C-alpha cells in the first residue's frame, strides 16, 4: 500500500508556543496536499542554546505543548503525525531529545529518544556537548504501521550506519531522520549520508530538517529530503525557510531494491584481528 508522506521544514525559535503554532499551520498545509504521514524536524518545540533558559520553559511529556499539539493535529486531520523530536524535561534534571508518532486517533504509537549524542568541536569554532544536558536513549524500534514498517532515528544518528542496518534487518522499510544539522556539517555530509543510508539498506529515508538562522544564533542547513531505496531524491527543500515537501512512498520499491541488491541477506559474520605491520631486516621481495 503506497502512501503520501510529507516532511515539514521549520526554523524553530525559543518560544515553544510560537513553534507549536507554526507546526500546526504547516502540518495542516501538508494534510490539505494529501499527506497521510507528516514528519517535523528535530527540536520542533524549541532551539535554545542557553540551557538554563530552556529548562525554565520545558515541561514533562504530559504537559508539553508540542506533544499536546501533535496529538490534537493527528486526531483532527486523521493522519499519522510524527513530531521528529522535541525537548522533554526528565525527573533527574536532564532532558530527553524525544520523537513521537501519533496515530489518527491522537494516541502515541511510538516514542524514540535520540541514542547518539552530538558531542563535537567543529573547525569553525562551534562546540556542542549534547550529553551535558540530554540523557541518551538506548532502544531502537521498528513499528508496524498499516502502510509500512518504520524505523526511527534523530539527526546525529545518521552517522551510525549500524543503527540503520539493525532496523533494516528487523524489517524496516522506511527510516526517519528528523534533524537540525549545522550548516557546516550539512554542506559537507547531509545529502551523502542520507542517500548512503537509503542505498545500503534498500529503504526509503524521510528527513525533515530545521533551516536557516535561528533566534538563538545557530544556523541550520535545511534541505529536507525524501529519498527512495535506490538513492533517488524524490523531494527536497531549500537551504532556508519553511517548506512542505511530499512524495509517494511505495513499500513495493523496497522489495524491488532488495531483490536487485540482496546485501541484507548476503551479510556474513566475520572476525577481525589487529596485526603489526613491522618489517624485520632484509629487502622486500
Of 155, 173, 183, 219, which residue is the catalytic one?
A: 155
Answer for the pair 11, 210: CB distance below 8 angstroms, yes or no. Answer: yes
DSSP 30-67: HHHTT-SEEE--TTSS---S-HHHHHHH---GGG-HHH
Tell me how far CA of residue 131 lies from CA of 57, 80, 106, 261, in angstroms. 20, 30, 31, 37
Three-state DSSP at 27 gives helix
Q: What angle is formed at CA 112 by the lines to CA 107 and CA 116, rounded to 5 degrees?
A: 165
Residue 11 a catalytic site member: no
Closest to 195 in 3D by CA, of 180, 181, 177, 212 = 177
The three cell numbers locating residue 41? 524536524
Residue 55 a catalytic site member: no
Residues 262-267: contacts with CB under 8 Å, at least 24 apart:
263/200, 263/202, 264/165, 264/168, 264/169, 264/201, 264/202, 267/169
Of 55, 68, 94, 114, which residue is the catalytic one?
A: 114
Of 11, 42, 149, 173, which residue is the catalytic one?
A: 42
Q: Catalytic residue positions? A: 42, 114, 155
Amino acid at each position: 500500500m503506497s502512501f503520501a508522506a510529507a516532511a515539514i521544514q521549520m526554523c524553530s525559535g525559543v518560544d515553544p508556543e510560537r513553534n507549536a503554532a507554526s507546526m500546526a499551520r504547516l502540518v495542516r498545509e501538508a494534510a490539505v496536499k494529501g499527506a497521510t504521514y507528516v514528519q517535523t524536524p528535530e527540536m520542533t518545540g524549541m532551539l535554545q542554546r542557553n540551557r538554563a533558559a530552556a529548562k525554565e520553559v520545558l515541561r514533562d511529556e504530559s504537559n508539553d505543548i508540542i506533544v499536546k499539539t501533535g496529538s490534537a493535529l493527528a486526531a483532527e486531520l486523521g493522519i499519522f503525525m510524527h513530531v521528529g523530536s522535541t525537548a522533554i524535561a526528565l525527573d533527574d534534571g536532564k532532558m530527553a531529545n524525544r520523537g513521537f508518532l501519533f496515530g489518527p486517533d491522537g494516541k502515541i504509537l511510538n516514542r524514540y529518544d535520540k541514542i547518539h549524542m552530538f558531542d563535537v568541536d567543529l573547525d569553525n569554532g562551534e562546540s556542542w556537548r549534547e550529553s551535558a544536558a540530554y540523557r541518551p536513549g538506548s532502544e531502537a524500534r521498528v513499528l508496524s504501521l498499516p502502510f509500512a514498517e518504520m524505523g526511527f532515528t534523530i539527526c546525529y544518528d545518521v552517522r551510525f550506519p549500524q543503527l540503520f542496518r539493525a532496523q533494516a534487518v528487523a524489517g524496516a522499510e522506511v527510516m526517519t531522520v528528523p534533524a537540525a544539522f549545522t550548516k557546516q556539517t550539512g554542506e559537507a555530509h547531509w545529502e551523502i549520508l542520507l542517500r548512503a543510508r537509503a542505498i545500503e539498506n534498500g529503504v526509503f529515508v524521510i528527513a525533515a530538517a530545521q533551516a536557516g538562522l535561528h533566534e538563538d544564533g545557530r544556523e541550520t542547513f535545511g534541505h529536507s529530503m525524501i529519498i527512495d531505496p535506490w538513492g533517488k531524491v524524490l523531494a527536497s527543500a531549500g537551504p532556508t525557510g519553511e517548506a512542505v515537501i511530499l512524495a509517494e512512498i511505495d513499500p513495493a520499491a523496497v522489495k524491488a531494491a532488495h531483490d536487485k541488491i540482496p546485501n541484507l541477506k548476503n551479510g556474513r559474520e566475520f572476525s577481525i584481528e589487529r596485526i603489526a605491520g613491522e618489517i624485520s631486516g632484509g629487502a622486500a621481495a
